[in-house]
Amino acid sequence: MRKAVVATTCVMLLGLGGALTRADTAVAFEESSLSSRPVAKPLSEYTGSEFLALTRRTRFGAGVTRTRPCREAIGCDGTNPSRSTTVRVDAALRTAPIDLAAVPAEGVIVARMVNLGSATESMYRLRASRKLEYYVIATPGTGGAANVRFEELDTSTKTVRTIGVGFLTSCAHPTRKAAGIQADFKSCADAHNLLPASRADAEGGLLDPVWVGCGPGCCVAELTQWSPAPS
Three-class DSSP category at 64: strand
24-58: per-residue pLDDT in tens?
A: 333 333 433 333 344 557 666 788 999 999 899 99
161-174: per-residue pLDDT in tens?
A: 998 998 877 766 65
Question: What is the CB neighbour count within 10 angstroms for residue 40?
Answer: 8
The whole-number pLDDT of residue 37 equals: 41
Say how far apart CA 60 and CA 83 lie, in whole Å: 29
Helical H segments across the chain, by residue range: 48-56, 188-191, 197-203
Nearest to 28 by CA among 184, 171, 138, 193: 138
112-152: per-residue pLDDT in tens?
A: 999 999 999 998 899 999 999 999 888 888 887 888 888 99
Using an 8 Å Cβ cutoff, are 117 and 87 in contact? Answer: yes
182-202: per-residue pLDDT in tens?
A: 788 877 776 655 444 433 333
The whole-number pLDDT of residue 188 equals: 74
The whole-number pLDDT of residue 82 equals: 94
The residues spanned by each domain of the chain are 11-226
Centroid of chain to Cα 105: 19
